Structure 1
Amino acid sequence: MHGFFRRFFAPRWQHPDARVRCQAISQLDPGHPEQLQALEALCLDNEPTVRQAALARFSSPTHLLELLNQQPRQSEIRQRLVELLTQPQDAIDPAQCLRSIEQLKDQELLAQVALGASGQDLRLAAVARLEAEEDLITQACENGIAAVRHAAAARVTSESGLQHLAQQARRDSQVMRQARERLNQLRAAAASAAAAQAHCETLLNKLEAQAKAAWEPLYAGRFRHLVREWQALDTPPNAEQQQRFQAAVQRCQQVIAEQEAQARADAELQQAAAARQALHEALEQRRVTFAPAERLTEQDIAELNSRQSLLTGLWETLTKQGDPDEALRQRYTTELDELTAYLQAWERHATYAEEIEAALQAGDEARLYELLDRCAWPDTLPPTDLLARARHKLAAQKQPERPAQEEPSKAQLERFAQDLEQLEVFLDNGASRDASRLHQSLRQRADTFPAGSLRDHSATLKRLGARLAELHDWRGFVAAPKRDELCQAIAELADDTRLGDAELDRRHRQLIRDWKALGDAAASRELSHAFRSASDRIHQRLANWQEQQAAARQHHLQVRTALCEQLEALLDAPAENADPDALRRIRDQAREEWQRHAPVPRDQAKAVGRRFSRALATLQELIDQRAMEIAHAKRALVDAASELLSSSLAAETRAEKTKELQR
């Protein structure tokens, strides 16, 4: 009974019979809220005819969009929505259609709207919401409006899509042409990217091979070249390639650093060896360059002083680089002691020189004996002219208590034997100039000794003299073509007008050094005259340039001197509150100014250099002093602030004192 009443009083749109529900749909008004709900329910009815009749009552796509969200795959809703969006513009509000299209997400419906919409704006809006490239290709090929085809074609970016457009878009030649152009550009870009990637990979392989390679002289240069090529890449490498690059660079830098460290160690060893060799040569050369002669002069003593300074400097350099061997140490000590003894003897001679001269004038032989004993002149050192006259005076008197020494002393014979050994070393090394000097000294000493006293060394001296003569002949034979080459070279240089003044001067100086290095071997007046003539011609060509260089050096000297005067004036009256940072800037600027004005005349370079060094050292002391004073003052302020913070003074008092500290 209840079911009967329910069917009797229920609305007709809820009737079980589908035909009754279809008839009831025509009486429902979408503008009425309750009837709208009934229509929406009928749009979801089980019967297709009911759904179609209910959907036909909707003339606005807004409600259909809501229903589509509930039933996205229902064909009747999708079909009705497409009908509404593609109907003529005079049948529906275009703005409402545009808003609906902008809310529509279904790609299939959008594609249908883009093909069937009555207005261009609607079609463009639908195409703008398409995402699949296949749908865009369809629109570019089949859409009836050119603007829509062009808009769809512009969004095709893949190579396959562009290729399809170039082949299938026969309806629009512009679309085909643009597709071909973009396809060619895409392929060219792909080829360029592939080439860049291949180049990047090639560089990586080279760099990794360089990282595994052993060191060779061009290692660092090749590494820097590869890094510059990598940095100049147009296409940035990917993360994996960048990681490989960093690993290879680190390995190469490690190899270079290890090699540089090894080179520095080798250089230090070479410097130590060079210092050791220089000390050896200095020890050997002293015997040659200061071989005993007939009379000792002040020039010889000056040479002894310079030799002592040279040996001391070389020894200090050698000891800084390592501990020298014991044999070299003993040899240096012996040589230094001998030089010191010579110089001390010269000082004693200078002390008694006036008294010896007076005794000679007075003929006081006893006084002469006393003064010569006080001088204690070494037997291995040639006498001065004054000592020689005194000895000759005493020998002429033939005093019995001072008989003349007829036989050489043991020390003189040992020194003679050592010099013979050194002469043979010079001959073995081909040092003809040193050998000549030492041989001359030996000959002079041999003449002063009594006959027969050198019976053990006379044969050796003759044999070495013969070898020295052969060496001179051989050097003359070798030096002759070299002198000819130097004469020809300096003549060609004098005639060469293409060289600049600086290069001409450099080559001229080198040729002169080479000429002087030959000494007197194979020398002739004609060659010497030819060489000097060509050299004079070059000097004439360089006269103006040398004057300019001299003027520039003089100007540099004036600037450096003025710089020294400015620094000295600053240091003579420094400000009490001078800022250390400002002083440091002055120091750095002075150094830069000094470096910019170089070179200066050689005879004044050392003096002005020492003056500048003293001024800089004094300036540095002032900087350190002012920095220390400021540091102490700041530390005192910090201590005062700490005490003020922990004090029990009133807040206002502490504030006032704090302001005073800040000031």
Structure 2
Amino acid sequence: MAGFLKDFFKPKRPSTSNEAATQAAAKEPPKERVEPDPDAVRNATTTGELEELAIHGVTAGQRREAIDRIDDIESLGRIARALKGRDKGAFQAARQKLRHFQETEEKARQRQAEIERVIADTEAHSRTQDTKLYQARMDALASRWEAVRTDASEDQAGRFHAVMTTSRQRAESLVREEAEVTRLQHQRDEQQATIDTLEATLTQLRAGYPEEGASLSSLDAMTKTQITRWEQATTDLEPDEKLAATYHERISEIQHYQNALAEWQKHEEALNLALANDDEAALQELVTWINWPTNFPGPPPLVQAERRVATPRAMPESKSKQTDQDGDNKASQAREEELRTTLDQLEATLEQHQLKPSRQHFRHAQKLQDQLPGRQARQHQARITRLGRQLQELRDWLGFAARPKLETLCEQMEYLADQPMEPETKAEHIRELQHNWHDLGGTPDQELWQRFKEATDRAYEPCHEYFAEKNRLKSANLAKREHIVEQLQEFVDNLDWSSCDYKAVDRIQRTARREWSDAKPVDFRANRPLQKQFDRLIKTLNAGLDQERERNEALKQDIVARAEAFIDHEPLREATEGAKALQKEWEAIGITHHSEDRKLWKAFRAACDRIFARLSEEREAEQQSRNAAAEEADRLIRQLEALSPESVDDGEIRGIQEAFSALELPRDRVNALRDRFHKALDHLDSRRQEVIRSQRYEQWLDALNAHEKDEAVPPGSFGALAESPETMTQETEVADQGRALCIRVEIATGAATPPEDQAQRMALQVNRLNEGIKGDQSAESQWDEIEGLLATWCELDPNGGIEARHYERLREALKHWFYQSTH
């Protein structure tokens, strides 16, 4: 085969005719080469023109350029097929672009498929009967939609949002239902808690009469509280009959005890007097009046009085039998009275042509008649027979009158059979129509009945598969329960109670009960033996857990006793630290019975609350003291702010400072109050300085005016002593000394110096620095320097060459100093 292929593809020598043709062609002149049009691709306006250039373009570049401008997948496919084997580069470009468009189209198709899946899943979610994690699954669907939202059409977006709105409304409804269930469960818990409190109170009352006497006010407060609690817990939730009976029985016992206790406290003194006087008649009357309940220990004087008058605690046997007989007669009379009432109601409903309630009343009347003795039952037989015939006549008449309604029900069932609907909803509608049929009493017309039955069977046919699946779910749940029982049995068989983790065992039994409850629905009959086995295993576990709970309850009772011992313990710090330690002990204790733990916790919490209430009272007293200190501090601050800077005394200020320093201020306000106090103090000092500054300024001006007039300078004008003008100015002439002193005052006050004296000012400033006087001196030293200069000035002879402009320069310098210092 290889040799054959080699010979097959071996070049053949041209024949004579071929050689001639080749020579002739060689002699022909070459064809003229066609130059490509550089604007051909740019000028092409249609896909067909671009496809033609891509396939038959003169140059490879022209073909590639045409391919780059084509966006049609079919056209790219034709171009790739045409260029295969002719232009590898253009072929690869067409294939690559075609693959890119195909991938983009596939991604778009997948995105659209995902959008439709999200919408379908959302629609299924809005109709699902499985409401577990409903909100979480709805949020997950919303997240999936958010990922594909930008690629969805308006129609798809509208469908999604419509279904999501339905789901949100359903989610809100589920939340409301769950809240309602929680609220009702809370009311059930409150009902049971009320019973527990009453029973605990009765147990305590039966334990013995307290030595210090029972507290009527506490018992009355407890009774009113529990009555209010029961009324609130039964406002919207009707209690179980047995639970309600228990409540009324317990509250009656407590109220009887409470009434007897009130009477005892009212007649205690009279009874003690009757005992002292051995007055049996008075004792008999008082014992009867108090009417102490027989199953509760009473006050010792009352017990003594009962013994003395031999008050019977139990009825004689004959009286008991008579009471039983009287009770039977009363029961028969009550049933007979109820029978009469029922027959009256039957007559009323028959007159109103109400078939369903008439049937109910008739059946109830028959049941009551059967419960009566023979003679009493026969007295009502004639009336019951007459009303029974009327009932049959009403049934026949309504059967005729109800035929149009029955035909309407047939039509509704036939319409329902043709409607696509969820199986549960459809089955519910079917049951509703069937109930309506039965409420109308049916019909003896077999043809009409057969029509209704056939429509019912046809309507129910799509539900068969659903309920078959539901039956399969029941079987799966039954298998789950069998597995739970097997695991639980194995766990119980291998459990070592002496070394087990009781909390883990409690979690296991709780988990088993939860998983058992979750595995539903199940077939009731098939589940019955499993339920018995499961209950037995749970009972076995709870028996062992109850022993541990009782041990732990004893530990908690001991903690409660120790906590109550800390209530009045001193010092208080030890009591609070002890209470905190007991709280940690409490947390470390294992499982307990819920109801008992709640009672112990209330007692423990009450003791701790009283301990920490003492701490709170102590802290509150300290806080009140600090608040009073804060108010006093505020008063001192306001007093400081109100002081007059002209007349304030240093001793008064020191007294306020000492009083403020002695205060123990609250921590949260100490910094603010101290800041206010120091600011007020600084402000007062600043105002006093302003007064002093103003006084000095006026004194200095008065001294200058007097000196200028060659009058005596007022005494006390300067606080500093004057120096020799020659020494201070290093000048001998009065005029030169005056000019030098003017410059030095201008330097000291920071005022301006005339231009002609600038050179001398510079020299004086250098000397001033050499003397150690800096520009940033304190206000006091500045004042002292100015006063010294002015005092020296007043030593000059005003007629020795000093001019009026020198005085004006001094006044301007002092004015500059005064207003600069003030502002």
Give the TM-score range, shorter chain. Answer: 0.3 to 0.5
Give TM-score, length-normalised by structure 1. 0.39
Give TM-score, length-normalised by structure 2. 0.32
